Amino acid sequence: MNPELARAEELIRSVPDYPEPGILFRDITPLLADAEALRVTTQALIEPFLGTFDVVAGVEARGFILAGAAAIAAGVGFVPIRKAGKLPRPAASVDYSLEYGTATIEMHDDLPAGTRILLIDDVLATGGTLAAGRHIIDRLGYSVAGISVLFEIEGLGGRELIGDLHTVFRSA
């Protein structure tokens, strides 16, 4: 790993028992506050996919931040995948399971059919959120050009559920 990425990884904090007892939360806010760390991680998120996508989609909430930065870096647009009830006119919704509950995401259908989307989120744990994101993109007639995450927590089954994806950082 290059020194700039290694330094960026050191900025990710582990917060035990948040938001529920037994969950180890990965706090990326120190990384986001550091301009150079944000730049190198954004580049690392999109690099394997450059030239293969038309827009970047991010899953609410922290995925928005990374996907927005990635869209700007790649010179493409950004599409939000929101929590239920946050869009004025959802076109599709998907229910999914989290480590500590269930949730629903929604997405508009404003893009041309076949649009190639790079799906980005902050952390891959069990994979439920990204699987739901991929499902909603497919349901709307778009194409998933790739999936990229900042941080993968290995051993929770996420990679097995999602399959091929790109991760910048990994932790057991």
Catalytic residues: 62, 99
Cis peptide before 19 (omega within 30 of 0): yes
Report the amino acid identity of residue 64.
F
Bridge partners, residue 147, by sequence: 119
**Closest listed residue to residue 57, CA positions, set 39, 73, 80, 82:** 80
Q: Indicate the helix (H) or strand (E) that contains 47.
A: none
CB burial of residue 57 (10 Å; 0-12, 13-18, 19+): buried
Our CA angle for 93, 99, 105, nearest 5°, is 15
What are the helix (H) ranges across 11-146?
Answer: 29-33, 35-46, 62-74, 128-139
| Residue with the two structure tokens 């980005």 | 120
Instruction: Give the chain's largest Cα–Cα span.
Output: 44
